């Protein structure tokens, strides 16, 4: 409508004034419903051509979209394992800090496992003390076996010496018996030393390994107990938290609630422009938004980033080949907008739906001395007609409360 009115001011209106003032034709007489087309045919035709051209220039170089929102992420409150709620620490809409406890699951079985591990550690410590006493006893047996071996060795040497001197007091059988007994005594010494080595291995290897296993079991049980208390990972607000003591929580079937981070979706908006605007919407460009959650206000924005892919072309591996004709929607160019002046979007809630205009700005290009005159005129026209789109956004901002509250019935 604005484009049509502007074009008619330089086409239809001068044509009418020419016929009315200079040719003396009167409205309702020579100029009526039947003759208006014939009389103003040149003005109407030129007006239509200018309107179509102006609309094309405006919508191409200054694109608009209603697909604007401040998307924000949420954190699902989940425990790492299923269990029954033993205690809750927060309520709905409560603000929490990172590290604050949210709820705790029943830990009776994990506490029993931890206590069992502690008992095992105590048993190993007691076994270590017993092994030390057994080692002392084994050393005493070694000393006893060595003394018996030494006594037998001395008897064997004495009997052997007497036998060699030809004494009749010692028989060959006595010497053989002492020799055999000496081997038995040596075996007793070796067995006693092996017993000491076994006790030493028990003290230095077996019992420490058993204690390390019990300590690992205790650490695992304590870790499981720690994981039963769910903490906030970021600063935020608790939403949809309806847990009560005795409820069952499952990481697969039943989450506990949602945590909305404090900075999620604040002062950053995502706008989806038509694909035909891909060569116009660039990072660093100027834009404006108008949100339903903040009516009668137009906020100047800057395009900080443009997504270099279109989401509708995403392909996921499957057992079927992707067919281009199955694309339901063409997809949009995603641009990320931030306010030029800090604080202007602080009171816009995350998730708000908005309208956005992006504007082509050729000020730097117009300062190029090598720019041709025709190109210079065209760029001036492009920058000037952006006012039409800006005016349209402000008119929609003024009409939004009326449209929403009166005509829509909401």
Residue 73's pLDDT band (cuts 50, 70, 90): confident
> Quick one: pLDDT band at residue 271, thresholds 50, 70, 90?
very high
Residue whose token pair is 């509250």: 405
Topology (CATH) of 62-72+265-314+328-410: Elongation Factor Tu (Ef-tu); domain 3 (2.40.30)
Contact between residue 103 and residue 88 where contact means Cβ atoms under 8 Å apart? yes
Q: Full-prediction pTM beyond 0.75?
A: no
Taking each continuous run of H as one helix and of E as one strand, the counts in the chain are 9, 14
What does the DSSP 8-state code read for residue 277?
A: G
* DSSP bridge pairs for 334: 272
Specify the 3-state DSSP secondary structure of 291: strand
The predicted model gives 347-355 an average pLDDT of 89
Mean pLDDT taken over the chain: 83
pLDDT digits (tens, 9 = 90+) for 141-179: 888 888 887 887 777 777 777 666 666 666 677 667 777
Per-residue pLDDT tens digits for 219-265? 998 888 888 889 998 899 998 888 888 888 888 777 888 888 888 77
- Could you tell me which residue, 102 or 42, shows the higher pLDDT? 102
Question: Under CATH, which number does the domain 75-105+229-261 receive?
Answer: 2.40.50.100
Phi-psi region of 82 (alpha: psi -120 to 50; beta: other; left: phi over 0): beta
Among 382, 389, 388, 332, smallest CA distance to 356 is for 389
């Amino acid at each position: 409508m604005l484009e049509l009115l502007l074009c008619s001011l330089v086409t239809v209106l001068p044509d009418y004034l020419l016929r009315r003032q200079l040719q003396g034709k009167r409205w309702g007489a020579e100029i009526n419903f039947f003759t208006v087309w014939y009389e103003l045919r040149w003005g109407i035709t030129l007006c239509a051509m200018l309107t179509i051209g102006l609309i094309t220039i405006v919508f191409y170089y200054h694109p608009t979209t209603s697909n604007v929102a401040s998307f924000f992420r949420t954190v699902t409150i989940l425990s790492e394992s299923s269990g029954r709620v033993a205690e809750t620490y927060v309520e709905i809409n409560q603000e929490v800090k990172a590290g604050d406890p949210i709820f705790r699951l029943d830990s009776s079985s994990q506490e029993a496992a931890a206590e069992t591990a502690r008992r095992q550690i105590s048993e190993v410590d007691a076994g270590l003390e017993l092994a030390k006493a057994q080692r002392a006893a084994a050393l005493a047996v070694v000393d006893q076996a060595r003394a018996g071996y030494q006594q037998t060795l001395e008897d064997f040497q004495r009997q052997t010496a007497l036998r060699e001197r030809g004494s009749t007091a010692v028989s060959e059988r006595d010497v053989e018996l002492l020799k055999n007994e000496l081997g038995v005594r040596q075996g007793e010494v070796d067995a006693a030393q092996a017993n000491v080595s076994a006790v030493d291995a028990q003290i230095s290897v077996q019992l420490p390994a058993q204690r390390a296993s019990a300590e690992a079991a205790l650490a695992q049980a304590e870790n499981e107990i720690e994981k039963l208390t769910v903490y906030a990972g970021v600063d935020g607000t608790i939403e949809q938290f309806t847990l009560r003591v005795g409820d069952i929580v499952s990481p697969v079937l039943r989450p506990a609630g949602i945590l909305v981070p404090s900075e999620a979706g604040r002062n950053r908006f995502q706008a989806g422009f038509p694909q035909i605007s891909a060569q116009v919407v660039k990072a660093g460009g100027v834009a404006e938004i108008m949100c339903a959650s903040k009516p009668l206000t137009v906020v100047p924005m800057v395009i900080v980033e443009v997504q270099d892919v279109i989401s509708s072309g995403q392909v996921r591996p499957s057992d079927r080949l992707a067919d281009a004709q199955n694309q339901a929607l063409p997809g949009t160019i995603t641009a990320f907008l931030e306010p030029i002046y800090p604080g202007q979007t602080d009171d816009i809630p995350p998730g708000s739906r908005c309208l956005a205009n992006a504007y082509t700005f050729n000020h730097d290009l117009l300062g190029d001395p090598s720019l041709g005159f025709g190109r210079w005129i065209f760029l001036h026209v492009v920058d000037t007609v952006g006012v039409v789109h800006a005016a349209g956004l402000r008119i929609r901002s003024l009409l939004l409360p009326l449209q929403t509250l009166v005509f829509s019935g909401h």
